[in-house]
Every structure is written in structure tokens, then in C-alpha cells.
Amino acid sequence: MAIAEVSIVPLGTGNVSVSEYVADAVHVLQKSGLKYQVTPMGTIIEGNLEDVLQVIKHMHETPFARGIQRVYTTIKLDDRRDRKVDMEEKVQSVQQKLKKHTSS
Amino acid sequence: MAIAEVSIVPLGTGNVSVSEYVADAVHVLQKSGLKYQVTPMGTIIEGNLEDVLQVIKHMHETPFARGIQRVYTTIKLDDRRDRKVDMEEKVQSVQQKLKKHTSS
Amino acid sequence: MAIAEVSIVPLGTGNVSVSEYVADAVHVLQKSGLKYQVTPMGTIIEGNLEDVLQVIKHMHETPFARGIQRVYTTIKLDDRRDRKVDMEEKVQSVQQKLKKHTSS
Amino acid sequence: MAIAEVSIVPLGTGNVSVSEYVADAVHVLQKSGLKYQVTPMGTIIEGNLEDVLQVIKHMHETPFARGIQRVYTTIKLDDRRDRKVDMEEKVQSVQQKLKKHTSS
């Protein structure tokens, strides 16, 4: 299972807001059935590598369908194969270690 | 107000888990008093640009204090100056637009 | 034509050097026949979106073939469809504008 | 010595070209005296961490000076402290290992 984060930024829109483009991309993601989480800086997706890359490609296409001529997409891919780790566990693991700091 | 995302990856650790290093960095962030959110792919920080970059520098230093010799840090910086936008609002704005998709 | 940049970072190697893993990935890229450039911070690839994403997936797989259990890959994708822009032209365009600065 | 890569993307410009903004940012970098390289996907900077982060902050400010209201900046930071590695050496190290592949 891979966990990816994707940020899709349309260029040359004439408007600083990008949320409608992000919503388009997330709408495509929803239809994929993959587990995801929208954050203030991107969209996190969990699934097997092939499926995740496939849906990111479709998400990246969405601004072009609205007439945008240039899209700048950033992808981070965290692919761990020693054991299955899901999104929630990654955050929980950090928070558990953080408790030791704050209690010491 | 800027919103940033930082991912700190220690190299050459001999262990695939990085959560203890992330917890160290988040511990430093907590002491800064800045608003933040830990996600499965990074830590999001909100504040004025100067403060955010300052705390990221301190976070980036934490693995070296544990003896790590190489740190790979990725930062995304979303800096909007037409009006104040906070972390939660960015996500809400996407979700509102997403509702129109799913209801149509 | 899309221009992408990929950085492949193996985790848990026990050694801070990653160049042998990067060389593996670039070797796979060479066989694809796509135009590319190795920089100090990543590998830049030019080609149609489908081909570029396909080769990045193969490049991302290479550290696992050496026994690595976790790979952290960062991809930036600059996809412009108003006209064809190649790698060299992007840099030349910046340098031309830079000359005006330094001559003024 | 740290090696960083920075990509500065102005949003809401109404024009897909961003090279004039990149040239502005590189002009600020030139005046810093730090070693750098412009690539098709970003600008790579070598120097001590403090200086590199300082100049990146100044580079990030340049689009606002032209009236841009939102800037999206991506930074990758490769900070190695076991020994001094410069930009050129990172690429050479990959190319040497690549030769073994292609000759075998």
C-alpha cells in the first residue's frame, strides 16, 4: 500500500482562488473509491501504487477540462513494503511518540 | 498569514520508521505556539512567514541532534496576501464546492 | 509535452549516500528513450504525460529491487498545453529576462 | 553545506508564463553571491543553511513586489553533515555509478 499526497495548482487563471479546481480533482478521486483525506495543503490518497498513480493522473487532467492551459502538480509518494501502514496509523505513531516528550 | 507544509526525512537511519524523528520535530513546533496540524504526509503550520520559516529551520535541525548525518526536508509554502485565509477555511472552501458536484 | 522532476529517496538504508539508487533509477530512464537531465536535486524528464508517469513508476520501483523496504519519491509535474515548451527553452526564457535586469 | 531547490509559482496572474517572476527571484539570488544553478524545474542553491533559507525568503517575496497576491513556493532541502558535498559532486557521483551499469 502506498500513501501519496497530491497538490494541483492551475496557472494563469487570473484569480488567486484555486478551490474550485481542487474540488473538481477531489470529485474525480471520490469516484475512484480510494481512501483519501483533504488537508489544507493537498489531498492524501491511500491505495495500491498503480491505482493511486492512475487516479492522480485523472485528477491532474481536471483543470484542463475547464480550459486551463498549464497545471503544476506536486506529488509525494511514501511507499512502504515491509508491512501495511495506513494513513491514520502514521499520524497515531507520531502522536504516541509525542506524548512521551510532553510527559517527560 | 502563510500556510506551510513540512516533511522531514532522516537518511541513513538503518530503520524504515521515521515517526520518532517526526515527533521530535513536532515537539519543537508545539513549543513555538504556532497553529499546526499533523497529517499522514507532513506537518502543516500557519503563521506569519517569518515565524513559520524560523520554526521549520528548528524542526529541520532536530534529527541532527539525534546523530543523523543527512536530512531531506520538503517544504510547500502557500502565501496569500489579498486576505487572511486560515487552514480550516481552505479545506471548507473545497468541501463546499464539492457538495455542488455531488448534489448535481 | 510535460516536464517532470523526480527525486527518489530510499529510507532505512543505513548509509547516507543515495547515489547508487539514483543511478539505478536513471538507468531505467535511459532505456525509455525519453529526454532527461540529472540535476543535483533530482532528475528532469520531458515527454508526453503518459510516458513520463510510466517511467517514473518504473524508476520508483528500482530501490525495492535492491531490497529497500521504503521509498520516498517526490514528483513535480509542469504540464503546459497552450504550446510546446521544452526543457532548454524554459531555462533560456529565464536567462533572457535576467539579462534585462542585469543590464538595467 | 546545504543544497536546496526552490520553485516559485505566482498564482492568479492571468498568464501561463512565469519566467519573468522566476527571473526576478534569480536576480535576487545573484546578488547574494551564493552558488546556484537554474534548471527547467527550479533553482538550486548551495551554501550554509542559514544563508540559503534567508535568500529563499527574499526570492519568495519578489512576486509580491510585482503586485501578485498569492505565491506558491516549493523547497527541497538536502542537508548533509558527515562531509562537504557540492552540487557538481552529487551529479558526478550518479554518473560514475551509471557508467558501471551501461558498461556491464
| Positions of chain C with pLDDT lower than 70, given as ranges | 104
Q: Report the residue from D16, D70, D72 with minimal CB separation from A12.
A: D16
Per-residue pLDDT, B104: 63
Per-residue pLDDT, C103: 78
The string of DSSP codes covering D41-93 is TEEEEEE-HHHHHHHHHHHHHHHHHTT-SEEEEEEEEEEE-SS---HHHHHHH
Q: Report the residue from D11, D14, D15 with minimal CB separation from A9.
A: D11
Q: Do B41 and A78 touch (CB under 8 A)?
A: yes
CB neighbour list of residue D75: distance below 8 Å, 6 or more residues apart: B73, B74, B75, B76, B77, D4, D5, D6, D56
pLDDT digits (tens, 9 = 90+) for B79-92: 999 999 899 999 99
Q: What is the mean pLDDT of chain B?
A: 96
**Cβ contacts of A53-57, under 8 Å, gap ≥ 24:** A53/A4, A53/C53, A53/C57, A55/A28, A55/A29, A56/A4, A56/A6, A57/C49, A57/C50, A57/C53
Per-residue pLDDT, B93: 96
Cβ-contact D56, D6 below 8 angstroms = yes
CA dihedral C21, C25, C30, C35 (to 10 degrees): -120
Q: Report the residue from A53, A64, A79 with minimal CB separation from C71.
A: A79
pLDDT digits (tens, 9 = 90+) for D45-64: 999 999 999 999 999 999 99
**Residue A73: its H or E element:** strand A70-80
pLDDT digits (tens, 9 = 90+) for B45-67: 999 999 999 999 999 999 999 99
Q: How many Å apart are CA A46 and CA A49, to the nearest integer?
A: 9
Q: What cell numbers appear for A75 in the block?
A: 506529488
Per-residue pLDDT, B1: 87
Q: What cell numbers appear for B62 in the block?
A: 532536530
Q: What cell numbers appear for D96 in the block?
A: 560514475
Which chain D residues touch B2 with a CB distance below 8 Å? none
Q: Fill in the DSSP letter of residue A51.
A: H
Q: How many Å apart are CA A97 and CA A104, to the nearest integer?
A: 11
Cβ-contact B63, B10 below 8 angstroms = yes
Q: Say if residue D9's pLDDT is above 90.
A: yes
Q: What is the mean pLDDT of chain D?
A: 96
- The domain ranges of chain D are 2-103
Segment among A94-98, C87-91, D81-85, D90-94 with least mean pLDDT: D81-85
- Rounded to the nearest angstrom, the minimum Cα separation between A19 and chain B is 5
**pLDDT mean over D19-48:** 98
- Rounded to the nearest angstrom, the minimum Cα separation between B27 and chain D is 21
Cβ-contact D25, D7 below 8 angstroms = no
DSSP, collapsed to helix, strand or coil, labels residue C61 as helix
**B16 touches C at CB < 8 Å:** yes
Which chain D residues touch B76 with a CB distance below 8 Å? 72-75
Per-residue pLDDT, C104: 63
pLDDT band at B28 (very low <50, low <70, confident <90, very high): very high
The string of DSSP codes covering D20-46 is HHHHHHHHHHHHHT-EEEEETTEEEEE
Which chain C residues touch B70 with a CB distance below 8 Å? 16
Q: What is the pLDDT along chain A (104 residues), one digit of tens a residue?
A: 899 999 999 999 999 999 999 999 999 999 999 999 999 999 999 999 999 999 999 999 999 999 999 999 999 999 999 999 899 999 999 999 999 887 76
Q: Which B positions 22-61 lie with beta carbon below 8 A of chain C?
A: none
Q: How many Å apart are CA A56 and CA C2, to the nearest integer?
A: 15
What's the predicted TM-score (pTM) here?
A: 0.97
Provide ipTM, 2 decimals: 0.95
**C72 touches B at CB < 8 Å:** yes
DSSP, collapsed to helix, strand or coil, labels residue B7 as strand
**Chain B with chain D: Cβ pairs closer than 8 A:** 64
Neighbours of A12 (CB within 10 A): 19
Q: Which CATH class is domain B2-103?
A: alpha beta
pLDDT band at B103 (very low <50, low <70, confident <90, very high): confident
Per-residue pLDDT, C102: 75
Q: What cell numbers appear for C48 in the block?
A: 508526453
Cβ-contact A2, B58 below 8 angstroms = no
**A103 touches B at CB < 8 Å:** no
**C78 touches A at CB < 8 Å:** yes
**pLDDT mean over D11-40:** 96
Cβ-contact A2, A52 below 8 angstroms = yes
Which of B19, B30, B82, B88 to probe the A interface (max A CBs under 10 A)?
B19
Number of H helices, E strands in chain A: 3, 4
Q: Report the residue from D23, D42, D102 with minimal CB separation from C101.
A: D23
Per-residue pLDDT, D45: 98
Give Cα separations from A1 to A51, A53, D79 (angstroms).
10, 12, 29
Per-residue pLDDT, D104: 63
Q: Report the residue from D50, D60, D76 with minimal CB separation from B79.
A: D60
Q: Do A73 and C76 touch (CB under 8 A)?
A: yes
**D11 touches A at CB < 8 Å:** yes
Q: Report the residue from B49, B69, B81 with minimal CB separation from D80.
A: B69
pLDDT digits (tens, 9 = 90+) for D11-21: 999 899 999 99
